Amino acid sequence: MQINKIKKDMTEILSDVFDGATIMVGGFGEAGSPIELLHGLIDKGTKDLTIIANNSGNGRVGLGALIGQRQVKKVICSFARSAKGVTFPELYNKGEIELEVVPQGTLAERIRAAGSGIPGFYTATGVGTPLAEGKEEKIFNGKKYILEEALKADFAFVKAETADRYGNLTYNKTARNFNPIMCMAADTSLVQVKNILEPNEINPEHVITPGIFVQSLINIENPIIETNAIEEGMTYP
């Protein structure tokens, strides 16, 4: 029997996602954002989610839509303020969603650390700022650092360009961003991918995420382009 991580539909790939789960969502703004997986979660109705992402969604599409459906209780991100953000500000200003602000590099490093079995690390980022409050300090070579802890998740929702049935992934340009490290840091990585090739068709030298970090794949050949969707007034559901 052959290994095959490709799932037949959205219901199957999302079958294990549970209420109260912590989910990492790849993407930087819209580039690399797994919009179809997020819409699948709206259809499934999963609630009380903690979302780890760089941003907090635009318009009422993808992450913006999931937040708008009140399925998210907390967002951990670096930048929750965007020109096209609608749903997060609405809930935040009413005190109906929690926010943990993490500097972008610390967010990336906390995620990588979790994926690499490193429970915490010291960094200069944030020293002397409000985001250092309550964190352990340590001096190395005369310079002050703060302790940051690894950030794990139950699931990673990821968008990739090309995959094979083993879960080897490649990405497209700056749509790579947080996706590879989120695959490493989550117990289960669910990946939507534009193209699925035969295992011998991806050059091993070109694989960005080796299949060991990926549990499930779904083929989404023509994903929604967020900018266009928002311009066209799309809302989901």
Interface residue list for other proteins (CB under 8 A): 28-32, 54, 78-82, 88-89, 92, 99, 101-106, 108-109, 111-112, 123-131, 171-181, 208, 225-227
Residue 182 region, left (φ>0) first, then alpha (ψ -120 to 50), else beta? alpha
Q: Check residue 202 and report its DSSP letter.
A: S
On the question of a cis peptide bond just before residue 237, with omega within 30 degrees of 0, the verdict is: yes
- State the minimum distance, in angstroms, from the CB of residue 170 to other proteins: 11
- State the minimum distance, in angstroms, from the CB of residue 85 to other proteins: 8
- Give the residue with the Cβ less far from other proteins, 75 or 190: 75
- Give the residue with the Cβ less far from other proteins, 44 or 234: 234
- How far is 164 from 53, CA to CA, in rounded Å? 25
- Give the residue with the Cβ less far from other proteins, 8 or 94: 94
Q: Decide: helix, strand or coil at residue 205.
A: helix
Q: Which of 119, 82, 84, 79 is nearest to 99 (CA)?
A: 79
- Give the residue with the Cβ less far from other proteins, 63 or 80: 80
Buried/exposed 160-199: b ≥16 CB within 10 Å, e otherwise? bbbbbbbbbbbbeeebbbbbbbbbbbbebbbbbbeeeeee
- How far is 231 from 216, CA to CA, in rounded Å? 31
- State the minimum distance, in angstroms, from the CB of residue 161 to other proteins: 8
- State the minimum distance, in angstroms, from the CB of residue 198 to other proteins: 24
- Give the residue with the Cβ less far from other proteins, 12 or 90: 90
- State the minimum distance, in angstroms, from the CB of residue 20 to other proteins: 24
